[in-house]
Structure formats: structure tokens, C-alpha cells
Amino acid sequence: MEFTNLNQELCRKFVEDELFSPRLQKNPVQPGLIGLEIESFPYRIDQKTILPVPLYEGGDSLAASVEKTAESPSHESMFYSLPEHHNRFLDKVILSHGDIIQFEPGGQLEVATAPCYSFDQIQSQLQSTWAFLNKISQNEEIQFAHYGTNPWLDEIEIGLQLPKPRYQALQQYLNGISPNGKQMMLLTCSIHINLDLGQSKETRRKRIIASNLIAPFLSAIFSHSPVQAGKLTSHKSHRSFLWQNLDRQRTGFPLDFKKNQDFDSLIDSYLDFGLNAPLIHIHRLVAKPLPKGFSFGDWLQNPISGISPTIDDLRNHFTLLFPEVRLKGFLELRSCDALPEKWQLVPLAFCCGLLYHDQSLDAVLELSEEILPGLKQYWKKASFGLVDKALFNYALKLFQLAISGFTSLPAGFRSQEQLNLLLEYFEQYTNQQSSPADDLIREFQMNNSLII
């Protein structure tokens, strides 16, 4: 749908209908759909030296290797082209089981799973996807590393790999604020947890508030980025630190919510967040510079070069907002660092235990009166892991609720293997006031680098 005379009322309708309403119908016998987006750094090794893998340049590029491996009638490769280039670029590959292989601005590879009804299903799909990537490793000698920040290479060595105008505009915009933007785009990897909003407005209200409430604790519990570009940082999640200092007008916690905030006011505050954020890129204006600090709300009132915004422009604008919890017709929880393969489903189990189990969800909301006033402070402290005593104590409470909630979910939805991993992670890390970041710190201090 496209309106040439877009106004605030139509903007609100878009937010309510497309962002705050469930996009997919769930299986009525299961708690909800689940999905993951898992990012990794591609690299090659030459005599123990880590080399970046170009995304598009050369016959041994990442895109060429992915396309070559995907040459099968059961896989679908999709491409895009740019007016200033004669060749076309691989955009993504849809694997036969529905998982998608695509790319991030620094050439990071992202696996986006198809929506799944159970942990057995998502685990089975990921095993097939890892088998696909293992073929690339075996045939093309490209390895994939799962860390929150690139531990070997800096942003100059990598450079912007995606030539799409939206990413060129994003980099230019963020460069005008601080170096953190370029580092975020080129040097970070995360795990995004995608969960059902829920069918009723009350369920959606609760899950939206609770998912924001737990976001800082996800960063701390699953921190895995203490090393960047060959240097030990002062953070357990340096990736989280970069996001915190990126652009406060489009990151963090846009919902000025309270425990009992009603559903309509959540929509209004998310709409305000979008309308107040500065514009970065408008497809129809190609590379034309935009007025600095000019928000989408400003554009509603003042056309740019005679062009007024449409719903498609608004949709594009919301994809360039980066809150810790993004509304997309489902919940996209964006707070976790990329993790070793063994632990990649643990944050998903943790969040399902808290948000898909009614009693655990209500218990999380009961903590809101204590946590919400200091939510942004906990987010800042989360980049240091579980060092802060109050943050650690809440992390313990939330993890215990997650275990209880996940254990209580239907056996056909959860899996015993993932329950065991959830318990193992708690005992090995969270209960010890630790995370996988501490493993990396010990390795770096022993070897003065991370060894493959």
C-alpha cells in the first residue's frame, strides 16, 4: 500500500498493522514461532595470518563461493544490480529447507532461519545450514568465526563490502557522529532472537514490555566480545558498548513504558521514536544528500526536492532504526553477541522460557517496578558482563525463571537437549558470574591473541 499524502494518522496505522500485529499465524498447539539470525565473520588463514574474505571481488570471494555451493535446483539464488555497475551482485540464497544466507555491510555472513514450530525443527534446519557452510569451508577454505566483535581485523582492513546505497548512506551518516558507527557496521556480529508477538493485545503488550526489560541482561549473560582488532578492550561485550554509543536517536529503548502501560500508548511511543529519528536514506532520491538532522516527522510537513513520503518510505525508514527490541510483526531481540556454535540456541531457550510461559512472563513483569527506573543504566553496565552486583542478582533471578519457564513448555516445543544446554550454560557461566567472554579474555592473556 502506498499513499502520496502520508500523514501521522496513516503512519500510526502502519505501525499498528505491520509492526505491532503478528505477521505469521502460529501453530495453535505450540507456544509460538521461533527464529534466529546468526552472524559470523568469514576469514582465511595464510601461514597463521588471518585474512579478510572480500564479499564480491574476485573469483574466490565469499559471494562467489556461496553461489557456487548453492548451484542446485533445490536452492534459490537472488541477485540485485546497481545503476553504476554492469555486473549483478548475489543478494541472498534461500536454502531448500527455508533458511536464508545473506550478508552484512562488512561482509559478515548471516544465517536467517525460516520460522520454526519447535526446537527440534530449528536445530534440524541449522544442522543442514551448517553442512552447507562446511562445504564452503572444505572447498573454498573459508572459515566462519562467531564472536561479537572481529578479534583480528580493524575497519580499515575490511572496509564497506556491500555497495548498496542504503549502507553507503548509513556509513556516511554514522561517520558524522562517531567512529563507533563504522566499527558497528564492519566489525560486529550478533544473534537476533525472533519470537511471536502473540495473538491477543494483552499478550503482545506483556511480551513487548518484558522483552525490553530483559535486553540488558541478555547482553551481560551472553557477552562474547572482549577483543577487537587484536586488542583486549575494557568490556565483556564491546559490541554492546558500540551500540550504546552509536546514535541515541535510533538505538536503545524507545518505549517510555511502565509496567501497566496500555497497548495503544506503546504504539504511540514507538511511532514517536520513528518519526523523531533523522532520515538516512530515501530510495527515490538515490545519493542526493539529505538535510542534516531532518526527521521523518519533518518530512511529513516539508517535502524534499518536491517529494513527499509514502508508506514504502516509512517502511524503509523503520529498517534503519536499531532499538534493542525491534518490532517487525514479531519481536526481534538484538542484544546478544554471536556465540560459539554449542551455545547458539541457549539465548533462544532463555527468551522462550521467559516470554512464552505465562507464569514466568508475569514474574518478569513483577520485576519491572525495580528494574525499569534503571533500565538504561543496566544497559551501560551490561557491556562489562555480570560485574555489577545488582545486575548479576537480577540476571540470576531471570535465568532461574527462564529455566522454570522453559521446563514447563510443551515437550513437543522444547527439547531435552536444549534444556540440558540451558542448565549447563547457567552452571558453567551465569551462576559463576561469568560468560564466554571470560574464556576469550583468558586465552588472549595467555597468548596475546586469539588462536584459531
Query: Domain boundaries in the chain?
Result: 8-447
pLDDT, block means (10 residues), the chain with 452 residues? 74 97 74 96 93 95 97 94 87 97 98 96 97 97 98 97 93 93 97 96 96 98 98 98 95 78 93 96 81 93 92 96 97 98 98 98 94 94 98 98 98 96 98 98 92 72
Cell numbers 541457549 correspond to what residue? 346
Task: Please name the residues in contact with 130: beta carbons below 8 A apart, sequence gap of 6 or more.
Answer: 341
Write down the pLDDT at residue 93.
Answer: 98
Q: For residues 206 and 362, give the distance between their C-alpha atoms in angstroms, rounded to a whole number.
A: 8
Please give the Cα distance from 375 to 212 (Å, whole number). 9
- Residue 192: per-residue pLDDT: 98
User: How many C-alpha atoms does 7 have within 13 Å on its Cβ side?
Assistant: 2
Q: What is the pLDDT of residue 1?
A: 45
- pLDDT recorded at residue 27: 65
CA-to-CA distance for 95 and 155, rounded, in angstroms?
Answer: 30
CB-based contact 405:354 (threshold 8 Å)? yes
Query: Could you tell me the pTM of the whole model?
Result: 0.96
Interatomic CA distance for residues 158 and 149, integer angstroms: 13
CATH of domain 8-447: 3.30.590.20
Q: What is the dihedral of CA 167, 312, 195, 245, to 10 degrees?
A: 40
CB 293 within 8 A of CB 278: yes
Nearest to 261 by CA among 402, 372, 380: 372
Predicted confidence at residue 26, as pLDDT, reads 62
